[in-house]
Structure 1
């Protein structure tokens, strides 16, 4: 008997009297010690299929078919039965850790709640187990993190905490919804090794992802979903080695490729830093005496020309985002920063505000960075209300500029009055890019802009960013843990580790002839994730 059996699953949502079906007759099984992957683009029905297994879709959903855990029917099961199964027998790792973790509770309290509820562990016993779990998922110095709140962790660290919470009760089935999306390649490799070890304990794993390299590595079987249906399923080696469906072939061929256009020899320097340092004081006692520093960035030096991309890579917590925020003077720093030849530290508040139009940022989470109460047009035009129309656009309406920017990012003008929740992840990221681009900036900071996107959408966003860079001569600071995307986007690359720049140079040199052991380890980890499964 299979541990989890899904047969002819159908899911529909009722809204304003209308029933919209989003999953059509999905069937699959998960056995003990087996990993089954659900793959497909955003909106294909992967996540709602997983959530339906333990009735987490809410009252608006109408679920049909059968979902059995160890022979027990879960669809229509009493609430008491579902409470026992959830978190104990079947655990979830959700895609977005910041919305899944309580911002008001420390890590120790959140992990401790689960241990107390399901295992009766409290006090020193619970603390020892929490430290063990945090160590297992790759959190450095876990004892010092017990009192931390979610906002004090990087995105990758928050995801690792979510994984620790899911593993706390040693469930029979682990359902992982994009669990490695925010993780750098080395930590990703650690998490995948951990999940592989769990398989050896007879745990069943249902793995939802858009990263086919990971599927190749860990999945025994794969179900390819499109428009709420499984269009192809079977052993991973067979499906990937000889795909039968056009959509499967499209997914397998969706890899960022090509290189950015060369930088003009006379391109001016847009941004440069000299021995930039960002240290955060550690204060203790009633008088808040400084007893040490968190050395987030140590003496980083760099330069970026017009039309050039500097890729910044490294593990979570290495200082990548902190460096970028310091360069834009969004956080304090020491050392030299020059923007278009001007000393940034010398700017007054008024001058800095005026210069903000020239330096824009696109954040990692396109949903969290867009106001749910504003329409697409209002979001894109917001900067115009603060900074005014860009040079040469005087006398034009904001709506006309928004319409032209939608054309630039390849979104329909008819979408202007829709809200963020009405767009896919890739479309929301295009809106975020349009919001930054409408001010005609000289510099664009891109903080993990493709990490949460499907492979096919990643390719589209990379192509879009390269086209905009070539057209407008933009300088990019491109922060990412995805080395395939970094290579497709970057002219130069800087590798960071624990606040230090360990290697920097041209993209070609760094990928072909890495000099430091750390860079070599990063590249090996990326190749392992991408190719190990192909040799299985």
Structure 2
């Protein structure tokens, strides 16, 4: 399989002169900063290009399908169908075959094997869930199971380990290696340099739509030639990141008591949270960690009023908050803000970023529109976005740029508590280090703002004042102390 050529829009090159070959049984990794052109290159193998792009060059794909596992898998899973139905349609061939008993049994066996190959337990409880009842990591593995059922010859894996805990990353790495051993070619688009060193047969480093360096991982790590490659690889090890000293215990701003959440599927009810309790103190940087599917995002959504079907209560300054965000007052909405992991889904793709950021101040603080726009521009500039970038639509910004815009939008509410759900997981090491440094300063620069960071990454969590671990749906402090 070969790809070459370039794409441009409004005179701006998105991908310029990229050439690569993915052979059966080999894993080729594309690495680079957010916005470097990795996903655009990967999507070209599926015949997908940005709207309005001018395309030159050639893509040649052998007989057979190209499977695609996107960074945000919820976008490609039908929200109205349960996991079992999503996979059985593919396992039966999707041709309306008669539902004879032997064919149903064969399809059922294929579905369960595909889930096992994708490192998911094919239990009835999981098969009966809808996509929104799965964690991001579980959604990603369901999409991988779909690609395996389709019998794809080439797999494009876009950030497959993004937002995954270390054990799940290990399982995904093993699965990709097994896929390659079966003769499938894999194009791995990733910021995770650890998995690149472990799996890749060849690495292509991208910057500004161009490949600036390529070679086997051993050579790149030992003797990088390009200055950008050196910078990218030198920031890989974040284990030595400065750990914040514990914050002075402040008064409790936000508290969760006895949060219990269950997902019902048929006759089965699986508890995601079991009486989870959490306190957030003024000016504190709190990290919440746990395995994929442990309930971290569910707990965060309960705090923000985005998951109303739960038992227990959430209190702001000791006063119970309505369970649903729709029932909260403007002051309560402003006090607890949420920044989503799937940042692109949180923006209207047709409106300029600046307008959407300013809207927060208008809606939640009743700020006049001209003043809100000026404040939004100042905040966006302070977060590293220039005037030209913020006047574009979200589709024209990289993941790192859009994540900063989402932070600016939340900060314009002047919140008491800012909840960030895996917002660094899909970023390259250079951008991630910059954003983490920015997050660490927010409690000091925004009048005692409390920060709750949902993360799988132990190095990221090490920057927090306090770490809370979710295990079996229950909060436990790490090291042990009251949550």
Does TM, normalized by the shorter one, top 0.5? yes
Does the aligned pair in 1 maintain the 2:69–2:158 contact within 8 Å? yes
With over 3 angstroms needed to count, the CA separation of the structure-2 counterparts of 1:351 and 1:191, relative to structure 1, is closer
Query: Is the partner of 1:372 in helix, strand or coil?
Result: coil
Residue 338 of structure 2: aligned partner: 361
Please give the secondary structure, in 2, of the residue aligned with 1:298.
strand
SS of corresponding position for 2:462: helix
2:291 is matched with which residue? 315
Q: How far apart are residue 427 of structure 1 and its match?
A: 1.4
1:433–1:235 Cα change, 3 Å: same
- CA apart distance, 1:376: 2.2
Determine the C-alpha separation between the residues in 2 that align with 1:383 and 1:413. 18
User: 5 Å matches for 1:67-216?
Assistant: 67-69=59-61, 85=64, 87=65, 90-117=66-93, 122-216=103-197
1:398 has 2:372 as partner:
yes
Matches within 5 A, 1:282-321: 282=264, 293-321=269-297
Residue 28 of structure 2 contacts residue 200 of structure 2 at CA under 8 Å; is this kept in 1?
A: yes
Shift, 1:318, TM fit: 1.0
Map Cα deviations across residues 352-409 of structure 1 (whole Å, 9 max, x no partner). 543221111111111111122433233222232333258xxx9992223223322332
Superposition deviation, residue 308 in structure 1: 1.3
- For residue 342 of structure 1, the aligned residue among 319, 328, 339 is 319
Partners of 2:354 and 2:319 lie apart in 1 by: 33
Gaps of 5+ in 2: none
1:170 to 1:389, Cα distance in 2 relative to 1, 3 A: same
From 402, 424, 433, the counterpart of 1:450:
424
Deviations 1:484-522 (A, max 9, x none): 22223x111112133123x4134xx89xxxxxxxxxxxx
- Given the superposition, is the C-alpha separation of residues 220 and 65 from structure 1 closer, same or farther in structure 2, using an over 3 Å criterion? same
Instruction: Please tell me whether residue 219 in structure 1 is matched to residue 219 in structure 2.
Output: no
**1:479 partnered with 2:479:** no
SS in structure 2 at match of 1:26:
coil
- SS of the residue 2:42 aligns to: helix
- The correspondence for 1:498, drawn from 462, 472, 481, is 472
Q: Give 1:277 shift.
A: 2.5
Distance 1:35 1:249, change over 3 A: same
Could you say which residue in structure 2 is the equivalent of 1:10? 5
Residue in structure 2 matched with residue 39 of structure 1 by the alignment? 31
Residues 144-177 of structure 1: per-residue CA shift (max 9 Å, x gap)? 3334332232211111111111112443332222
Task: Report how far residue 476 of structure 1 moved.
Answer: 1.4
Whether the 8 Å CA contact 1:137–1:164 is kept in 2: the answer is: yes
Does structure 1 conserve the Cα–Cα contact (< 8 Å) formed by 2:277 and 2:474?
A: no
SS in 2 for 1:168: helix
SS in 2 for 1:50: helix
Q: 1:91 to 1:419 in 2, by over 3 A?
A: closer
User: Hey, what's the Cα distance between the residues in 2 that align with 1:399 and 1:170?
Assistant: 50
Contact 1:118 1:169 in 2 (8 A): no
The CA distance in 1 between the partners of 2:372 and 2:366, in whole Å, is: 8
Judged with a 3 Å threshold, the aligned counterparts in structure 2 of structure 1 residues 282 and 26 are, in CA distance, closer, same or farther, namely closer
Task: Write out per-residue CA displacement over residues 245-276 of structure 1, whole angstroms, 9 at most, x where no aligned residue.
Answer: 101011112344633654553632222334x2
Q: CA deviation at 1:51?
A: 2.7
Q: Classify 1:482/1:264 alpha carbon distance in 2 versus 1 (closer, same or farther; 3 Å).
A: closer
Of the candidates 435, 439, 445, which is equivalent to residue 409 of structure 2? 435
Shift of 1:442: 1.3
Q: Which residue of 2 aligns with 1:28?
A: 20
Equivalent residue for 2:396? Answer: 422
Gaps of at least 5 residues in structure 1 are 71-83, 285-290, 511-536
* Greater C-alpha Rg: 1
1:282–1:294 Cα contact (<8 Å) kept: yes
Q: Deviation string for 1:23-77 (max 9, x for gaps)?
A: 333333333322111111223222222333353338955554454456xxxxxxx
1:35–1:204 CA contact under 8 A, matched in 2:
yes
Contact 1:131 1:143 in 2 (8 A): no
Give per-residue Cα distances to partners, 1:298-339, cap 9 Å, x unaligned: 122332222212211112221112222223344254445432
CA distance in 2, matches of 1:457, 1:173: 29
SS where residue 317 of structure 1 aligns? coil
Who is 1:278 aligned against?
260
Residue 243 of structure 1 pairs with residue 243 of structure 2: no
- Number of matched pairs: 472
Q: Call closer, same or farther: CA 1:409–1:218 in 2, change over 3 Å.
A: same
Distance in 1 between residues matched to 2:409 and 2:401, nearest whole Å:
12
If the length of structure 1 is used for normalisation, what is the TM-score? Answer: 0.79
* Contact 2:158 2:188 (8 Å CA) reproduced: yes
SS at match of 2:129: coil
- Determine helix, strand or coil for the equivalent of 1:214: helix
Q: How far apart in 1 are the matches of 2:359 and 2:468?
A: 33
Partners in 2 of 1:410 and 1:20 — Cα distance?
A: 21
CA contact (8 A) 2:82 2:130 kept: yes
Distance 1:266 1:436 in 2: 25
Note the aligned Cα RMSD (angstroms). 3.2
